[in-house]
Structure 1
Amino acid sequence: MNNGKNSSIGCIVNECRFHAKDTNYCTLDKIEVTKHEAMAKDVQCTDCGSFKKE
């Protein structure tokens, strides 16, 4: 895990362990985007699979 913000990954989920806290970015080098439908049809079918509760 990178301890600084990743300027390539914006994030507003400050409840996540990997949120940059002082700014709306992720601190991970890479995230995993997942889907919870067989075929993703819209944004509601996708999630950040890298989320970890603070």
Structure 2
Amino acid sequence: MEKNNCIKCDINQCKYHYKAEDYCSLEQIQVGTHEKNPTVVECTDCKSFVLD
């Protein structure tokens, strides 16, 4: 598993977290929302998250 220098991430519980540093190991991620009308950063989600 290699880190992707373009995707910083500090979610240690994710399967794709590069454990040695705060990066993601995926080539790309899917970002989405859980709101009908997102207006603040808390409305966004990493749809690529998988519990480790």
TM-score category of the 2 structures, normalised to the smaller one: over 0.9
How many residues align structurally? 52
Q: Show the 5 A alignment for 1:1-54.
A: 3-54=1-52
- Per the TM alignment, residue 38 of structure 1 is displaced from its structure 2 partner at its CA by 1.1
Q: Distance in 1 between matches of 2:38 and 2:2?
A: 31
Q: Deviations over 1:18-47 (max 9, x none)?
A: 000000000000000010111210011111
For 2:31, the aligned partner's letter is V
Q: Which runs of 5+ in 1 are unaligned?
A: none
TM-score w.r.t. length of structure 2? 0.95
TM-score w.r.t. length of structure 1? 0.92
Q: Which runs of 5+ in 2 are unaligned?
A: none
Structure number having the greater strand percentage = 2
